[in-house]
Chains A and B, each alone.
Chain A
Amino acid sequence: MSDKLLKVDNLRVSYHTYAGEVQAVRGVSFELDEGETLALVGESGCGKSVTARSLMRLNKVPPAEIKAESRVLFQGENIYDFDQNRLRRYRGQDAAMIFQDAMAALNPTMTIGKQVAETLLHHQALSKKAAREQVRQLLQQVGISEPERRLRQYPHELSGGMRQRVMIAIAFANQPRLLIADEPTTALDVTIQAQIIDLMKQLQQIHKTAVIMITHDLGVVANLAQRIAVMYAGTIVERGSSREIFYHPRHPYTNMLLEAVPRLDQPEDKELASIAGTPPDLLNPPPGCPFCSRCRYCMDICLKQRPPVYQFEPDHQADCWLYALEKPAEDAPFTRRDDHE
């Protein structure tokens, strides 16, 4: 177990609101090796951001409640047992985070130079001058031209792509072992998206950083992640290697997500399948499979009992009754067009 960089075990997070307890994350478990990239994919509201914040202990408690049995083990140590000193070293040095909206994630009244320098100065014994030089280099590394001028500017003076580059510079400043990127490209237009993804990939390779890439768009992670976990209504419903997920999806929800990814080889006249229906209310989640209200294969048992985990390849699992019942059910009732791959 100590060879794993990160091990998340039965993470459960609720928000206490006036309406009641919102069960935002309902038992999420996964592991991450050094230098590996895991994609966490799912629709809006499925609990991706809450999960991401939990990995940094950034959820505000209250209103959030991290259930007692939840474990987030970083190099074997539960971050929820860290004292303040250890936690501060974990944040920013062991692990870093990038947020969706860089405009909101950067302090509007502080120069970007200071915002980058701050994280350096906090974790390394540096003189102001040395820190400034490092900031300059970092900005250059993330592809910001004229760093000397830029570091004196404020976030609003930069373009959206530039701002996300600054966030990346902050995240990589202390060469963290783990990077959590919460939809880092969603707010950007497509060309910039690709550039940012490339940049992250490049830095990750240089620093051998493990990355958790959160997105609602499977297309973004296709050639970025080694493994993919598909999240639905606060749980991971399917997980596996990228190849398995893309070419042999087992969970009906994963299949629907894949149908919704725009494809280059797709005939022009064919409309993109969008996912009909809405996810369940997390104030009052259904007792059975959370996906049943939208699932075309829904059976009686799906409504009553939570589906078991069904193992396919050594590294491919899905929570779905389809496979548990029709033994031996090796095949999904749906097939991908490019199954010959």
Chain B
Amino acid sequence: MKVFRYLIKRLLIALITLYIIATATFFLLALTPGDALSARVEKLPDQVTERLYEKYGLDKPVMERYLITMKGLLHGDFGESIIYEGQTVQDIIAEKGPVSARLGLQQMILGVGVGLLLGILAAVKKGKFWDYFVVVLAILLISVPNLIFALLLQMVFAARLKWFPVIGWPSAGQWFSGWKYTVLPTLAGCFGYIAAYSRLLKASMLDVMNQDYVLTAESKGLTHREVILHHVLRNSMIPIITRLPMTVAMCITGSFFIESVFSIPGLGLYYVNAVAAQDVPIVMGETVIIAALYIFVVFITDILYTIVDPRIRISGGKR
């Protein structure tokens, strides 16, 4: 019962958040001078221009357009793209979404995984060579922009060594056989996570290692390994989980650059183009979907919390 009420509450909050985000996006776009058609219609006769404006409903007053858009969103209908003629927003998302999702997931799994391993290494070897190695590596990875890494990787591993293609992405039928295309973009995008997560886990582990219960564990005669695995790690993961939503946000914004550098036909590239061209339906559609994804991740994070930390229960906070 408690859980049910909690879920309803979360759902309501999510819907309100989405509504606010959609509204804000709509009016920001509406307030920007010009519209999606202004460039295209410059050299067209007035009659054609009028018909085009009519077709996309851009001749109607702002409030009416707002209502139409919101009604569409309510039905899950995002409308038709203006700059990519004849394609509905749903089509575009269905086609490009999986590409971006794959890239993002690969980057996150690799980056977070390697980051956590390095974090453990640095904490366990504190004050020794590997600790300093990880610290320096993290500083390096965080201070060099992803874009530079992308270009470097292209130069070394694609142009010079020819191990991987410079640009491109496996087409729909070759999810697995085209893996070579995904290597460099995945690498280029994972460094930020490595830097962030190695530092985060190291700090968290060092903090946990100073807790009394680690002393208790040692006083039982457990091996160093057992102490780390059974007592330190799980408790160190609690603050790490907080960062999960941040990571997904990083992934979404990061992908815009990576996708353009490697010419990957993902959502990021379309999103950037759509904003520049004021293609309201695409921008609205993607914004709402990305926001929904983010809200979902925050929700999953809360659930993970209750799994890792028994002191936290779904309806209440920490005791």
Contact = CB atoms under 8 A, between A and B. Distances in A.
**Do A and B truly interact?**
yes
Given A107-B231, A108-B213, A156 B311 contact: yes
Interface in A168-209: 170
B221 A92 contact: yes
A96 to B, nearest CB: 7
Given A92-B219, A104-B213, A107-B216, 18 more contacts: A89-B221, A91-B218, A93-B221, A96-B219, A97-B216, A97-B219, A104-B212, A105-B215, A105-B216, A107-B213, A107-B235, A108-B235, A109-B310, A119-B221, A122-B220, A122-B222, A156-B319, A170-B220
Given A108-B310, A110-B231, A156-B319, A88 B213 contact: no
A253 interface: no
Interface of A: 53, 56, 58, 87-93, 96-97, 99, 101, 104-110, 118-119, 122-123, 154, 156, 167, 170
B308 interface: yes
Interface string B213-237: 1011111111100100011001100
Contacts of B217: 107, 118
A109 B220 contact: no
A231 to B, nearest CB: 21
Given A104-B213, A156-B319, A122 B221 contact: yes
B95 interface: no
* Interface size class of chain B, counting residues whose CB lies under 8 Å from the partner chain: 20 to 34
Contacts of B234: 109-110
Which of B215, B216, B217, B230 is most buried by chain A, counting CB atoms within 10 A of its CB? B216
Given A88-B223, A122-B221, A156 B310 contact: yes
A119 B311 contact: no
A106 B213 contact: yes
Name the 8 nearest CB pairs between A and B, nearest first: A92-B221, A91-B221, A104-B212, A88-B221, A119-B220, A92-B220, A154-B310, A107-B213
Contacts of B230: 110, 118
Most buried by A among B215, B220, B234: B220
Nearest to B233: A109
Interface string B290-319: 000000000000000000111100000001
A118 B219 CA distance: 12
B211 interface: yes
Nearest to B231: A107
20 contacts: A53-B215, A58-B218, A88-B221, A89-B221, A92-B222, A97-B216, A101-B212, A104-B211, A106-B213, A107-B213, A109-B235, A109-B308, A109-B309, A109-B310, A110-B230, A118-B220, A118-B222, A122-B221, A122-B226, A170-B216
A156 B309 CA distance: 11
A88 B310 contact: no
A88 B217 CA distance: 11
B26 to A, nearest CB: 45
Contacts of B310: 108-109, 154, 156
A58 B221 CA distance: 11
Contacts of B222: 88, 92, 118, 122
B212 A105 contact: yes
Given A105-B213, A107-B231, A154 B219 contact: no
A109 B308 CA distance: 7
A90 B217 CA distance: 14
Nearest to B209: A60
B71 to A, nearest CB: 48
A92 to B, nearest CB: 3
A134 B218 CA distance: 21
Nearest to B222: A122
B206 to A, nearest CB: 11
Contacts of A154: 310-311
Contacts of A96: 219-220
B231 A91 contact: no
Contacts of B218: 58, 91
A99 B308 CA distance: 25
Contacts of B308: 109
A56 B188 CA distance: 49
A87 B224 CA distance: 12
Nearest to B210: A60
B215 A58 contact: yes
Which of A97, A109, A119, A170 counts the most B-chain CB atoms under 10 A from its CB? A109
Contacts of B231: 107, 110
Nearest to B234: A109
Contact of B220 (A53, A91, A104): A91
A107 B227 CA distance: 11
Given A109-B235, A156-B319, A91 B211 contact: no
Contacts of A122: 220-222, 226
A96 B222 CA distance: 12
B309 A108 contact: yes
A133 to B, nearest CB: 19
Given A154-B310, A156-B310, A156-B319, A106 B216 contact: yes
Contacts of A123: 221
A91 B221 CA distance: 5
A99 B235 contact: no
Which of A93, A106, A119: most chain B CB closer than 10 A?
A119
Interface in B187-220: 211-213, 215-220
B126 to A, nearest CB: 11
A251 B247 CA distance: 63
A52 to B, nearest CB: 10
